[in-house]
């Protein structure tokens, strides 16, 4: 992850970034951290990607909204996750894809 302030890279030993992105029907909170101490191995550091989605507004029955929301939120979160990873890093994870998009 790189963060720039006034065009200059902001680099620290531990970096944590949080933002909320709102679409018409689904909001997404993205939190990304790097260089963070691992709870089970304090001498090592790691990264975290946390993507949470929420319903922006409910104008009808919650049950009717929920089914569409779950599928839409899953798609948004999956697309966002893979956009965050550089292709060369993703390859080191040896991904296996099914026939879905």
Residue ranges covered by each domain of the chain: 4-87
Question: What pLDDT does residue 101 have?
Answer: 53
Contact partners, residue 22, CB within 8 Å, separation at least 6: 28, 56
Entry pTM: 0.76
Structure tokens at 85: 């990873």
Q: Which residues of the chain have pLDDT under 70?
A: 1, 99-101
Question: What pLDDT does residue 79 have?
Answer: 92
Backbone phi, then psi, for 41, in 5-degree steps?
-145, 75
Using DSSP, state whether 13 is helix, strand or coil: coil
Contact partners, residue 58, CB within 8 Å, separation at least 6: 65
């Amino acid at each position: 992850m790189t963060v720039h302030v006034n065009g200059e890279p902001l680099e620290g030993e531990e970096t944590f970034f949080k933002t909320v992105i709102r679409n018409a029907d689904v909001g997404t909170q993205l939190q990304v951290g790097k260089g963070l101490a691992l709870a089970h191995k304090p001498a090592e550091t790691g990264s975290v990607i946390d993507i949470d989605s929420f319903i922006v507004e409910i104008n009808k029955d919650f049950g009717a909204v929920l089914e569409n929301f779950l599928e839409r939120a899953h798609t948004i979160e999956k697309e966002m996750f893979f956009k965050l990873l550089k292709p060369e890093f993703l390859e080191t994870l040896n991904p296996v894809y099914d026939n879905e998009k």
